[in-house]
Amino acid sequence: MSDALSISECPYGICIWKFGWYRGLFVPCRVISVRDFLMHTDEQGRTLSCLMTHEFIIYRKDMVVTMKEKLEKIKAEAIRQINMSDALDKLNDVRVNFLGKKGELTAVLKSMKEVAPEDRPKVGQLVNEAREEIERVLEEAKAGMEKKLREAKMKAEVIDVTLPAQKNSVGHRHPNTIALEEVERIFIGMGYEVVEGPEIEKDYYNFEALNIPADHPAKDEQDTFYINGDILLRTQTSGVQVHEMEKGRLPIRMIAPGRVFRADEVDATHSPSFHQIEGLVIDKNITFADLKGTLAEFAKELFGEGTKVKFRPHHFPFTEPSAEMDVSCFKCGGSGCRFCKGEGWIEILGCGMVHPKVLKMCHIDPEEYTGFAFGVGLERIALLKYEIDDMRLLYENDIRFLKQF
Ligand code: DAH
């Protein structure tokens, strides 16, 4: 740097600029290397501008002092903000703002290139001291805050054993479910199996195989939703009989509970979707006496020991003979009341001996095997058993209603 311009050579003893034309006042600095330094002065000899044609680096002499002041200010501001923080996330904001990658202290470190190399360790140390100090105050504040939070939490969590307990509102089994479980219990006790069948069913299983051919009037009473000409929403659980018989496993003792569908308007006793429980027994030497004995026992178990049963002749296409079974009114014991509409009897189910045609369609020899079947409405049992006078209540899912059973 033999051709460097020394401070004494500069009229002001000061130079700051990088190369190019510059105007304005000079501030104290130290020139490291200057080549081709030109000065323009006005008539009074004042420097207007200077030209430096080569790059050179100038470090301000007072940089250490300036940096120290700057750091003090940053530190004071950081501490002020820490003291003002009233939450942990606010403290974290302060940390990020001052110590983070884009924080103020980091910015100071980045401006280190303006400091003369021999002053850099000093300034670096100052920055570190400032960082340590801010970190220390931050940690103290954080610990204090966490302690306060812990204390507040402990206070809030004090358990007052004298307070009334909070009641958990738990669900409740639906009256339909309670009734079904009761029916299942009775038949399982008699050695029956509980099976299920499809709700979306073929016309064949819902009608045809049950001896209800295409134009049979019984189909009118059981209109339903047809998915296509062949597939429909089942109108009765009787089709499950056919599925079970087709399996070819004899004897059969089964009940089949499930949802059925009909084109019915909603009212107190009707719904387009309700439930039935189908029953089927197929074995050698099954007679109407077995049917009567089984269903009489069922009625007693369900409605009480004193319950009597009565069979009225009826017609169902898939049973022969067929009957409807009434039970003696379990409210008045048969003398007649509001509940049984003065009749003393309540109709409860349809039943009969499985029609030989049905057996044949299911590849069972009617000469060798006979059987009986029955079908009962689940809602009907629930309504009777729990003395509910409107079927719609069963579908509203109002917990105030449901939890009474
Ligand atoms: N499936 C008939 C209905 O929905 C009820 C029924 C009657 C089922 C007699 C049977 C039975 O199994 O033998 O009306």
Homologous superfamily (CATH) of 175-402 is: Bira Bifunctional Protein; Domain 2 (3.30.930.10)
Does residue 278 line the site of ligand 1, with CB under 6 A? yes
> Regarding predicted confidence, which is higher, 228 or 160?
228
Residues 61-84 have pLDDT tens digits of 567 778 888 889 999 999 999 999
Does residue 17 line the site of ligand 1, with CB under 6 A? no
Identify the pLDDT of residue 61. Answer: 56
- Shortest-distance atom of ligand 1 to CA 276: 4
The residue whose CA is least distant from atom 8 of ligand 1 is 375
Does residue 47 line the site of ligand 1, with CB under 6 A? no
Q: From ligand 1's centre to the CA of 34, what distance in Å?
A: 113
State the pLDDT confidence band at 46, using cuts at 50, 70 and 90: low
Identify the pLDDT of residue 157. Answer: 84
The answer, yes or no, to whether residue 52 has pLDDT greater than 50, is no
State the pLDDT confidence band at 57, using cuts at 50, 70 and 90: very low
The answer, yes or no, to whether residue 221 has pLDDT greater than 80, is yes
Ranking 2-6, 134-138, 293-297 by mean pLDDT, the lowest is: 2-6
The answer, yes or no, to whether residue 21 has pLDDT greater than 70, is no
Does residue 352 line the site of ligand 1, with CB under 6 A? yes
> Regarding predicted confidence, which is higher, 11 or 187?
187
> Regarding predicted confidence, which is higher, 373 or 161?
373
Provide the residue ranges of all domains of the chain, joining segments of one domain with +: 7-59, 63-156, 175-402
The answer, yes or no, to whether residue 286 has pLDDT greater than 60, is yes
Mean pLDDT of 211-232: 92
Residues 105-147 have pLDDT tens digits of 888 888 777 777 778 888 888 888 999 999 999 999 999 999 9
Above pLDDT 90, what percent of the chain?
A: 62
- Shortest-distance atom of ligand 1 to CA 279: 12
Question: What rounded mean pLDDT belongs to the chain?
Answer: 85
Identify the pLDDT of residue 225. Answer: 94
Ranking 71-80, 165-174, 278-287, 316-325 by mean pLDDT, the lowest is: 165-174
Mean pLDDT of 189-215: 97
Does residue 238 line the site of ligand 1, with CB under 6 A? yes
The residue whose CA is least distant from atom 12 of ligand 1 is 374
Mean pLDDT of 253-282: 96
Q: From ligand 1's centre to the CA of 224, what distance in Å?
A: 16
Residue 213 tokens read as: 């051919």
Identify the pLDDT of residue 45. Answer: 56
Q: From ligand 1's centre to the CA of 375, what distance in Å?
A: 4
